[in-house]
Chain A
Amino acid sequence: DTEVTQTPKHLVMGMTNKKSLKCEQHMGHRAMYWYKQKAKKPPELMFVYSYEKLSINESVPSRFSPECPNSSLLNLHLHALQPEDSALYLCASSHAGFIHQPQHFGDGTRLSIL
């Protein structure tokens, strides 16, 4: 079991649906991350939050909308996704001052777009 919990584990949605991915950690970490991982590829950074503020957006399309309501929670709101957005979405967290800090990953949400 990992200390970063992601829900749901699997999600199937149509291109017109709106859904949200949720990530929770209780390690006192103040930096949280969203990654996208395609099969047999490395994780690719999407967003970084530091102290609940968005600090890095890797030019992610606006159909992905992150939210950090408090220091323990990170959401990723999805709307009008494309089939190529099907992937494993990983959440991670680390201590603040996130340079040189190990990142702790959740098990991910496997997303399929019909």
Chain B
Amino acid sequence: QQPVQSPQAVILREGEDAVINCSSSKALYSVHWYRQKHGEAPVFLMILLKGGEQKGHEKISASFNEKKQQSSLYLTASQLSYSGTYFCGTEGGLSGNQGGKLIFGQGTELSVKP
């Protein structure tokens, strides 16, 4: 079942912060985050595993609350280069034929203006 992302789109000025949420009605074992710029490949940002951990890379961080079956991506002090469509991808069970089966949310389009 496809995870639900919110908001669908957000417009920011450089330096502003944003939060993108991803929620699922099914139990999650991990959440992936990817960014795709127009006409380019999706680029891996981070994976969060069960345990409620928070990960970060420079000014982009994320959290994962498996009890709520939610993940949030935090972008602080946004830069022009952050523009693109952000997808969360969820992995379900650990059985062999489920592994690697990413189901992506519908995407959040982020535009950062000067």
Contact = CB atoms under 8 A, between A and B. Distances in A.
B102 A99 contact: no
A56 B91 CA distance: 14
Contact of A42 (B29, B49, B94, B105): B105
B43 A42 contact: no
A104 B94 CA distance: 21
B32 A94 contact: no
Q: Is the interface of B mostly helix, strand, loop or mixed?
A: loop
Interface string A82-114: 000000001000100111111111111000000
A98 B2 CA distance: 20
A11 B44 CA distance: 26
A100 B47 contact: yes
B100 A56 contact: yes
A44 B34 CA distance: 14
Nearest to B30: A100
B29 to A, nearest CB: 7
A45 B49 CA distance: 21
A90 B99 contact: no
B42 A48 contact: no
Contacts, number: 65
Interface residues of A, number: 28
Interface residues of B, number: 27
Nearest to A40: B107
B43 A103 contact: no
A42 B100 contact: no
Nearest to B104: A42
Interface string B40-61: 1111100101000000000000
16 contacts: A45-B101, A45-B102, A48-B100, A48-B101, A50-B100, A55-B96, A55-B97, A56-B100, A90-B41, A94-B100, A97-B99, A99-B100, A100-B29, A100-B91, A103-B44, A107-B41
**5 shortest A-B CB distances, which residue pairs?**
A98-B100, A42-B104, A99-B99, A105-B41, A102-B44
Interface of A: 2, 4, 31, 33, 40-45, 48, 50, 55-56, 90, 94, 97-108
